[in-house]
Amino acid sequence: MSTATSPARPASTAKAKAPAAGSAATGPAARPAADAAPADMPPAPTAGAGPLRALWARPAARKLLVLAAAAAVLVPLAATAWGSGTWPHALTVDLTGPLGRANDWIIDNRDHHWIFLYFFGHISGAIIGAVHAVYTVLLALGWAGVTVGAGLLAWRVAGVRVAVTTLASFAVCGLLGMWVPTMRTLALMIVAVAASVVVGALLGLAAGLSERTFRALRPVLDTMQALPAFAYLMPVVLVFGIGVAPAVLATVVYAAPPMARLTALGLRATDKGVLEAVESLGATPRQRLLTVRLPLARRELLLGVNQAIMMALSMAVIASVIGADGLGDRVYQALSTVDVGSALAAGIPIVLLAIVLDRTTAAAGDGRASHGPSGRLVWPLVAAATAAAAVAARLLDARNWPGDWTLSIAAPVNDAKDWMVDHLYSGVPGVGGTAEWAAHYTGWILDPLRDGLQGLPWWGALLLVAALAWLIGTWRTALTAVLALAAIGVLGRWEVSMDTLSQVIAAVAVTLVLGFAIAVPAARSPRVDRLLRPVLDVFQTMPQFVYLIPVVALFGIGRAPAAAAAVVYALPAVVRITSQGLRQVNPGAMESARSLGATSGQQLRHVQFPLARPELLLAVNQAVVLVLSVVIIGGLVGGGALGYEVVFGLAQGDLATGLVAGAAIVCLGLTLDRVTQPTKAEKKGAGA
């Protein structure tokens, strides 16, 4: 059905309808649109055809006309067949039955079917073994060994400043009494990152060396990066149940795509001249790869590792919902009882871990080798010093972080939070209170938007998505978007998804308004940019999960805190992309505008915004993708809708519900990404 409303209509329909619609609007000619204008009639040479032709000359208007023509035919048909309003029941397929049976079958057979015994069982066993081994090593090193080792490693790779940050961060983890959970998260991370990097690098290698693999893989990787983390949880739980193994697997699936993507891009970006020169010297393909392509892709490879680590941390924390223990689990447990103090105590180590890991790996990718000490003996020295610290701590019988060195912040934080509840939630003179804001946001924005979306006839929503996606992108992206949206309806998750969608749209709107408001000054004034940069750096490295902690403290539980977390999470990326786009505008164009006497507002409107259009669209796309991922996680703090169904499915062991919701999340993610995906200029490879 959904294909029928797609913009990929045969051209004859478009040609037949467009002149008819035009004449009806402009002239007294042929009234009845249905029998007007034979298929291939050229634009009529009458006076009335002038504006139409002008309209037809604009690509955007042409697309809309074609779409309107298609809609004029199909909508009445669809509406009479299935009615308007919400997604028609006749077009849904109930998957809960089959999925439930599949789940039951898996549970029944997990212990004796060969596929579990000899395939999934081995995978799961290997993962659990690896995580356990790493954890044992970390424990054996003790807090002293780990801290010293990490510090020296950071020193070698990234220089003194990062080393000091690392030492301080690990010390704080210990001080907060979170040493053991931190090590558990770290062990899980190490295994997941290693696997992601290996898998990603292999995929990237294949895609980097073979054009066909690249073409097949790229859309998959692009799509995977646009999907919310929550969507990856359900399938692994279906097969592996709850535990460490599925958590690691979900993390790998989430973290490997950026590595694969950057590896492929790095390998493909090798300077053609260098490759040719090397070939002219008689290098074998293997020599070309090892001595030229890989070394020249070093930057991208290390950036890939950096991205994989950050994604893995983000996911390792979220995976606490499917049985990953460690810091994420502590946050999850604390949030479920609205114990902000304990959540913060576990959240701070997550943030510190993120900062340390990001700074260290980013410095490695910088390419400047002059950060830390160098020389042949450095690595053995690092290892020796680590071992010495570990042995020393063991001799002093202090392998675990000493109990009396910890500082419990849960109680004072909770006191502070209670004070906030008493004083900031409501009745602050003049501005109201956070709870009132939340109520207003929910009541005045979210509810009407949700009701509007749910009240929208289903074909109207499809049409809207098609129009938007086609205007911004190509007919391909529009087709995917429409199909994905229709799939949500078919899955029977229309209403719930519209609820999620309303939250996303509202939060994206807020993000964009705030983001542009911050980005424009940042692009114009180097000082604002300098002030903003470190803040953005820190915010961009934090895993999405930790944003839930402060918003729960401020706004309580509900859809508003989820939206607030989403806005805060998406804002840094939007600000960064927008301000960079505005700043990179061709200085020649800016100079000529200034020389013509344009005011700064005119420069912004006429030069910077139009020239930075690709970046602005990218910012919108990123805002949508990032907001969606947090809105879904918002299911954990009362955001409801699709995210809640996944959480509910996990909590109740009702995997069928969770899986269908997960599939709907994938579809929604796909729709939103494609609707906002600007046309990418395809770069054609130069032949000779």
Partner 1 sequence: MSAAAASAAGAAPVFSVRNLWKVFGPHAERVPGGELAELGPEALREEAGCTVAVRDVSFDVRQGEVFVVMGLSGSGKSTLVRCLTRLIEPTSGTIAIDGEDVCGMDKGALRELRRHRAAMVFQHFGLLPHRTVLDNVAYGLEIQGVGKAERREKAREMVEKVGLAGLEDRRPGQLSGGQQQRVGLARALAADPEVLLFDEPFSALDPLIRRDMQEEVDRLHREEGRTMVFITHDLSEALRIGDRIALMRDGRVVQCGTPEEIVGSPADDYVRDFVRDVPREQVLTVRRAMRPAAAGEADTGEALPPTTTVADAIGTVVRTGTPARVVDGGRCIGVVDHRGLLGVVAGLDGDGKAAA
Q: Does residue 287 belong to the site contacting partner 1 (CB under 8 A)? A: yes
Binding to partner 1 in span 219-278, by CB under 8 A: 271, 273-274, 276-278
Q: Does residue 284 belong to the site contacting partner 1 (CB under 8 A)? A: yes
SS3 432: strand
Q: Facing residues of 432 across strands?
A: 428
Q: Which is nearer to partner 1, 365 or 433 (CB)?
A: 365
Smallest separation (angstroms) from partner 1 to the CB of 367: 9
Smallest separation (angstroms) from partner 1 to the CB of 208: 17
Smallest separation (angstroms) from partner 1 to the CB of 271: 8
Judged by CB under 8 A, the residue of 98, 295, 521, 610 near partner 1 is 295
The secondary structure of 125-141 as a DSSP string is: HHHHHHHHHHHHHHHHH
Report how many residues bind partner 1 under the rule CB under 8 A: 20
Smallest separation (angstroms) from partner 1 to the CB of 282: 3
Q: Which is nearer to partner 1, 90 or 688 (CB)?
A: 688
Residue among 7, 1, 15 nearest 474 (CA): 7
Q: Which is nearer to partner 1, 42 or 273 (CB)?
A: 273
290: left (phi over 0), alpha (psi -120 to 50) or beta: alpha
Q: Does residue 370 belong to the site contacting partner 1 (CB under 8 A)? A: no
Q: Which is nearer to partner 1, 10 or 367 (CB)?
A: 367
Judged by CB under 8 A, the residue of 39, 57, 90, 281 near partner 1 is 281
Residue 270 DSSP symbol: S
Q: Tell me how crowded residue 360 is: count the other CB atoms within 10 A of its CB.
A: 24
Scanning 287-295, 428-436, 448-456, 648-656 for contacts with partner 1 by CB under 8 A, the matching segment is 287-295
Smallest separation (angstroms) from partner 1 to the CB of 297: 10
Smallest separation (angstroms) from partner 1 to the CB of 39: 29
Q: Does residue 366 belong to the site contacting partner 1 (CB under 8 A)? A: no
Smallest separation (angstroms) from partner 1 to the CB of 162: 24
Q: Does residue 211 belong to the site contacting partner 1 (CB under 8 A)? A: no
Residue among 68, 94, 90, 87 nearest 7 (CA): 68
Q: Which is nearer to partner 1, 94 or 211 (CB)?
A: 211
d(CA 404, CA 175): 9
- Residue 555, CB half-sphere, CA atoms under 13 Å: how many? 25
Judged by CB under 8 A, the residue of 12, 210, 291, 336 near partner 1 is 291
Q: Tell me how crowded residue 618 is: count the other CB atoms within 10 A of its CB.
A: 20
Smallest separation (angstroms) from partner 1 to the CB of 264: 20
Judged by CB under 8 A, the residue of 47, 57, 431, 688 near partner 1 is 688
Q: Does residue 292 belong to the site contacting partner 1 (CB under 8 A)? A: yes
Binding to partner 1 in span 76-135, by CB under 8 A: none
Measuring CA to CA, how many Å separate 186 from each of 56, 134, 179, 307, 535?
59, 9, 10, 16, 25
Residue 558 DSSP symbol: S
Token pair recorded at residue 562 = 């989820």
Scanning 137-145, 286-294, 371-379, 619-627 for contacts with partner 1 by CB under 8 A, the matching segment is 286-294
d(CA 186, CA 369): 26
Q: Which is nearer to partner 1, 291 or 599 (CB)?
A: 291
Smallest separation (angstroms) from partner 1 to the CB of 685: 13
Is residue 344 a contact partner of residue 172, using CB atoms and an 8 Å limit? no
Backbone angles phi, psi at 625, to 5 degrees: -65, -45
d(CA 413, CA 408): 9
Q: Which is nearer to partner 1, 279 or 537 (CB)?
A: 279
Q: Does residue 279 belong to the site contacting partner 1 (CB under 8 A)? A: yes
d(CA 340, CA 347): 10
**Per-residue b or e along 131-155, where b marks 16 or more CB atoms closer than 10 Å to that residue's CB:** beebbeebbebbbbbbbbbbbbbbb
Q: Which is nearer to partner 1, 284 or 370 (CB)?
A: 284
Q: Does residue 3 belong to the site contacting partner 1 (CB under 8 A)? A: no
Is residue 578 a contact partner of residue 519, using CB atoms and an 8 Å limit? yes
Smallest separation (angstroms) from partner 1 to the CB of 213: 23
Is residue 662 a contact partner of residue 234, using CB atoms and an 8 Å limit? yes
d(CA 172, CA 186): 15
d(CA 197, CA 306): 10
Q: Does residue 685 belong to the site contacting partner 1 (CB under 8 A)? A: no
Smallest separation (angstroms) from partner 1 to the CB of 348: 40
Positions in the binding site for partner 1 (CB under 8 A): 271, 273-274, 276-284, 287, 291-292, 295-296, 298, 687-688
